[in-house]
């Protein structure tokens, strides 16, 4: 249905209506007001089916969602870096040797991103943690000893952000294939032998690949 509305508007069908600048009007009128040269379709056999039969609308939404998810994850990494700075965190949890002992690509990448962000930081050090700030309740007669490890919410970041990186990489692979696919039905192919063509019916219009990827995206971002 969304593709039918879109195709009718682009094709300039008289009955097609759109919202343009807050006004409901005929698609042809909106195209004219927008200064866009009208697209003249001379629809022939199968053309209408190709325009409306597929998962292209779902793909467009998926592309936008995956794009936003990448920005969200970038912001989350920056936020994590700032948090580690503010908390004068112990950086040992981001040591590459720990990540290689459980070598998931996303986990390794997360730790590398954080090490890059905090490279040269003077706050995520033993010396910085040894400084007693005025609002800290710490006995001055007991010397500060090195912190062994931080709380879960800090040191488990590679194991939490990592699966999100991996999920987004998988989702981008699905989207990349879908962008470059024919998802309408039937499909027309040149005959392998001789002249002419073959019309073959299949199920490429089904949206399960996108649906499953978007369910994963929802879980990963949550």
Per-residue tens of pLDDT for the chain, all 222 residues: 889 998 899 888 889 999 999 999 999 899 889 998 767 777 887 888 888 888 999 999 999 999 999 999 999 999 999 999 999 999 999 999 999 999 999 999 999 999 999 999 999 998 998 887 777 666 666 777 788 899 999 999 999 999 999 999 999 999 999 999 999 899 999 998 888 999 999 999 999 999 999 999 999 999
Architecture of domain 55-221: Up-down Bundle (1.20)
pLDDT of residue 115: 98
**pTM for the model:** 0.84
Residue 85, classified by CB atoms within 10 Å of its CB into exposed (0-12), middle (13-18) or buried (19+), is: middle
Q: Map residue 24 onto helix, strand or coil.
A: strand
User: What does the alpha-carbon distance between residue 154 and residue 177 come to, in Å, rounded to a whole number?
Assistant: 36
Do residues 189 and 202 lie in contact, with contact meaning Cβ atoms separated by under 8 Å?
A: no
Q: Is residue 210 within a helix (H) or strand (E), and if so which, with residue range?
A: helix 208-221
Per-domain residue ranges for the chain?
1-52, 55-221
């Amino acid at each position: 249905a969304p593709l039918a509305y879109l195709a009718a508007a682009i094709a300039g069908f008289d009955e097609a209506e759109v919202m343009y600048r807050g006004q409901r009007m005929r698609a042809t009128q909106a195209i004219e007001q927008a200064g866009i040269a009208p697209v003249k379709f001379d629809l022939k056999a199968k053309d209408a089916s190709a325009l409306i039969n597929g998962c292209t609308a779902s793909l467009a939404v998926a592309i936008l969602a995956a794009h936003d998810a990448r920005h969200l994850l970038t912001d989350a990494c920056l936020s994590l870096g700032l948090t580690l700075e503010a908390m004068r965190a112990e950086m040992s949890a981001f040591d590459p040797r720990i990540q290689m002992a459980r070598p998931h690509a996303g986990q390794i990448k997360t730790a590398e991103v954080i090490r890059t962000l905090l490279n040269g930081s003077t706050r995520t050090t033993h010396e910085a943690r040894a400084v007693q700030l005025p609002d800290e309740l710490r006995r001055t007669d007991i010397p500060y000893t090195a912190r062994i490890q931080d709380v879960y919410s800090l040191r488990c970041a590679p194991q939490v952000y990592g699966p999100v990186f991996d999920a987004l990489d998988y989702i981008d692979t699905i989207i990349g294939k879908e962008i470059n696919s024919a998802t309408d039905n039937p499909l027309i192919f040149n005959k392998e032998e001789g002249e002419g063509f073959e019309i073959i019916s299949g199920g490429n219009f089904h949206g399960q690949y996108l649906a499953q990827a978007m369910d994963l995206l929802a879980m990963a971002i949550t």
